[in-house]
Amino acid sequence: MRYTQEPAFVLHARRWRETSLLVEVLSQGHGRLGLVARGVQGPKRQALRAALQPLQHIRIEATQRGELAWLNSAEAIDHAPRLAGAAGLAGFYVSELVLRLAPRQDPHPALYALFAQVRERLRVGEPLAWSLRRFERDLLETLGFGFAFDVDGDGMPIDPAARYLLDPEHGPRRQLGVRDGGERGRAATGRALLALAADQMPVADDLAGLRRGLRGLLLHYLGGRGLKSWELAEGLGRIGDGH
């Protein structure tokens, strides 16, 4: 298969052999693709290397050969967001989530549009934690894992004064009584879930609980293996920034 003038976002790139890169992209028409970019070292290939930086929006020409596609050319469509600090870590996080959860060569235009949306939110500096919670919610929905956040798994309206665990098989499950601290720490307030359902930013404390609740949900779909961006956020003490 040949990919001609295919728009894509760069998710990740790493060195391969002496002069090449292995690049993961999220394409508009063909989903996530693994690319082999050969001979990218040297001053004459600077433009190509720049086009293959994470979060860069590019247009590619490539030929699929088995599991990977061989990149023939790539050109930048625009300038990648210049993100620093917590925002840079957020960019790494959203790319890593897509890389881990989206299968290769599975066309998903809605996921491509969702990534473009969160990339723009990071670019313009919208509230970071809220941008990430909206992305997590919409990512789960787009990949077929989502559920309603304004009713619990039994179809009962969410009580804003209660706390809920997000059960991947059941949906929001009301937490009854005082249980172990670990479970309580993973619970989100009903008020936060209702805000998420209405696409209205919760207050700061509710946002923190929502982050923990959604992380447990994501961890289930990640097969119990966490993300490098989570480890990095913890090491840098940036949990409060939304990761």
The distance of Cα 154 from the centroid of its chain, to the nearest Å, equals 29
Task: Identify whether the C-beta of residue 86 lies closer than 8 Å to the C-beta of residue 124.
Answer: no
Contacts of 73 (CB under 8 A, 6+ apart): 48, 60, 61
| C-alpha to C-alpha distances, 1 to 26, 40, 69, 109, 134, nearest whole angstrom | 17, 23, 9, 19, 35
Q: What is the pLDDT of residues 65-91, one digit of tens each?
A: 999 999 999 999 999 999 999 999 999
Which CATH number describes the domain made up of 2-76?
Answer: 2.40.50.140
Domain residue spans in the chain? 2-76, 85-241
Nearest residue to 74 via CA among 66, 89, 62, 88: 62
Classified as helix, coil or strand, 168 is: coil
Q: Residue 243's pLDDT band (boundaries 50, 70, 90)?
A: low
pTM greater than 0.85:
yes
- pLDDT value of position 48: 85
Q: Is 2 exposed, middle or buried (0-12, 13-18, 19+ CB in 10 A)?
A: exposed
CB < 8 Å & 24+ apart, contacts of 11-18? 11/54, 11/95, 11/96, 11/98, 11/99, 12/54, 12/95, 12/96, 12/99, 13/37, 13/52, 13/53, 13/54
Q: CA dihedral in degrees (215, 221, 226, 229; nearest 10)?
A: -70
- pLDDT value of position 88: 95
Arch. (CATH architecture) of 85-241: Up-down Bundle (1.20)
Token pair listed for 99: 């890389």
DSSP track, 23-40: EEEEETTTEEEEEEE-S-
Q: What is the pLDDT of residues 104-156, one digit of tens each?
A: 999 999 999 999 999 999 999 999 999 999 999 999 999 999 999 999 999 99
- pLDDT value of position 215: 95
Percent of the chain with pLDDT over 90: 82
Q: Residue 42's pLDDT band (boundaries 50, 70, 90)?
A: low
Q: Residue 212's pLDDT band (boundaries 50, 70, 90)?
A: very high
- pLDDT value of position 240: 44
Cα–Cα distance, 83 to 63 (Å, whole number): 32
Cα–Cα distance, 188 to 191 (Å, whole number): 8
